Every structure is written in structure tokens, then in C-alpha cells.
Amino acid sequence: MFREKIKVFDCTIRDGGLINDHDFSDHFVREVYRALSEAGVDYMEIGYKNSKSLFPDEKFGKWKFCEDDHIKQVIDGIPSKMKLSVMVDVGRVEIKDVKQKKDSPVDMVRVASYVKDIDKAIHLVNQFADKGYETAVNIMAISRALDSEITEALEQLEKESRADVIYIVDSFGSLYQETTEFLVKKARSIIKTKELGIHAHNNQQLGFSNTIEAIIHGVNYLDGTVYGLGRAAGNCPLELLIGFLKNPKYDIRPILDLISKEFVPLREKMEWGYIIPYAITGMLDEHPKAAIELRASHKKENYREFYDSIKGKDLD
């Protein structure tokens, strides 16, 4: 699948940070940056730009705040054409914390928003556009929104926002290729002046195939993470995506090296991937929260009881 406009967008450190309170070492972030740069990846999202007045500094690693100086230190001296992104959540960022683009190593700001918060997201994303950044709005948990709500949100984003990219985010890993196709075609029919993106979680081992499905129907911004690292089941594995895309600008080999040296050892210490409780929340279209709690408890392998507890909620 060669298409000039396709952009591979890595979120390893940002989404992976949701597992370890964003406390990756400088060495690790630097090695990820180096390998992604060598591989020809287009964007790397290095973390969240959260307000320090809302979150106690000492409880989180530096990639929850992504201060420009920390970013500069960690990428210093590594040749790269890759762009850098940070994510902001509606209600968790202070605009004054974000410099003008021309004074920052960051190229892009992505605003994560539920459908119900789309007015706030538009207000926010336009301010980052004013500061000179490339911008995106990521519509989270789209599998749980009503069709009429999604239509309205997309129409507003098309008309009122200055975002460059609108992302479909399968937060719960519950989409199949038919539902992915439906949502992408719907978005494509409304979003005419912007690019579309896909961010797929891997609860049912469908992160990669849903990303392919999105590509087939015209999505050009493709999120992935190295070795699928990310909260709960993790994300579309970047190495599979690179292996699939036929664009000669990408080289999978630095990513393979990175997995050997950094991610295989990390997986011994940190849990993510295909784990049955996450598959269960995916197939039942639920937030992985309950499964994350289960995995931290002594009942971590009690899958049947967990399934019944989640199913039971439907009947309450």
C-alpha cells in the first residue's frame, strides 16, 4: 500500500506512559527517538502537556508535562527529520504553558476529546493553531457515541475547527473491520478539508487490521506504538504497520533492533498486550479500567468471574 500522503505516527511514549505514570528514563526515550528517526517515521508523540497546577509534579514522570527543555535535552545530537507531537486533554492543560511554535521543539499538538466535549476541544485546538502548531482532534471512545452525536461533532470539527487532522479513536478496542469501515466512510463524507487519522487499540488483536481497514478507506494518519506498547492491551504494533506499507522511505530494521534491545526486557517488567481481561472489555465495548484493576489484584487470572461481572453490569 504505497500512498504518498500516508504518515506513520508513533505514540509509544505517550500511550505507554499511561502504564507507568509517564516515567520513562531519558535513555529509553532517546533510544525510541533515535530508532524512529532512522526508520523514517513521520511523527513521534512524546507525551502529554498537562498543567502542573492540576497534577502534582513529584507523582509523575516528566513525559506527563513535556517541558520544552526536557524535550530538547532528550533529542539532543540525534539526526532526525521526524516531527514531534504532544497530546493535551480537554480541561487538563493551561494555554499559557505552551509557547509559540517558533520557540518550541514541538511541531504538533493533538487534543483528545470525548464527543460530548467537542465544543471545548474546538476552542482549545484553535488556540494551538493560532500559536502556529499543526493540530489534530482525537475523538475518543467513538464506539460508545450515538450516530447523531458523531455526525454533529464531525460537522462542527469540519466547520469550526482549524485542526489539520481528525482522528477516530477506538479507545476500547471494540471495533471490527466493518465498524471501522462504517466510521471512516462516515467521517470521510463530512470531513472534506482535513486529513483523517486512526488510533486503534489492540484488545481483540484487531489494532493492525483496523488500521489497514482505515487505510483502505482513505485514512492517512496512522497511529502505532513500538511492539504495541500502550495502556492495557496496547496499540497497533508499529513494526507491523511499517512491514505492511510499501513506501521505501520507511525502514523496519532500526525498530527491530529497538524491540530486541529495549522492549523485550521492558515487557518482563511492565504488562501490556493480548491478555484475556482486556480482550473481554474489548468484546463487550467497555473501558479497560475494570480489567486493569483486576490485573493488579490476586484475582488476575479469574477470567470467567470477570466476564460475568462485566456482563452483569449490562443487566443492572
How far apart (Å, rounded) are the C-alpha atoms in residues 310 and 295?
14
Q: What is the 8-class DSSP label of residue 227?
A: G
Residue 205 binds a second copy, judged by CB under 8 A: yes
**Nearest Cα to 139, choosing from 110, 161, 168, 117?**
168
* CA 42 to each of CA 8, 126, 220, 227: distance values in angstroms, whole numbers, following the listed order: 5, 23, 12, 17
Tell me which of 206, 232, 233, 294 binds a second copy, using CB under 8 A.
206
How far apart (Å, rounded) are the C-alpha atoms in residues 207 and 118?
25
Residue 273 binds a second copy, judged by CB under 8 A: yes
Select 74 or 259, whichever has its Cβ closest to a second copy: 259
Binding mask 248-267 for a second copy (x = CB under 8 A): ----xxx-xx-xx---x---
Say how many residues touch a second copy, by CB under 8 A: 40
Binding mask 222-251 for a second copy (x = CB under 8 A): ------x--------x-xx--xx-------
For 145, the 3-state DSSP assignment is: coil
Select 127 or 205, whichever has its Cβ closest to a second copy: 205
- CB of residue 308 to a second copy, shortest distance in Å: 7
Select 143 or 202, whichever has its Cβ closest to a second copy: 202
- Position 219: which residue type? V
**Nearest Cα to 93, choosing from 105, 72, 114, 110?**
110
The stretch near a second copy (CB under 8 A) out of 44-52, 103-111, 131-139, 197-205 is 197-205
Count of Cβ atoms closer than 10 Å to residue 153 Cβ? 26
Q: Which H or E run contains 67?
A: none
The stretch near a second copy (CB under 8 A) out of 122-130, 184-192, 217-225, 270-278 is 270-278
Residue 55 binds a second copy, judged by CB under 8 A: no
**Nearest Cα to 11, choosing from 190, 171, 153, 119?**
171
Which residues form the interface with a second copy (CB under 8 A)? 176-178, 202, 204-210, 212-213, 216, 228, 237, 239-240, 243-244, 252-254, 256-257, 259-260, 264, 273-274, 276, 279-280, 283, 301-304, 307-308
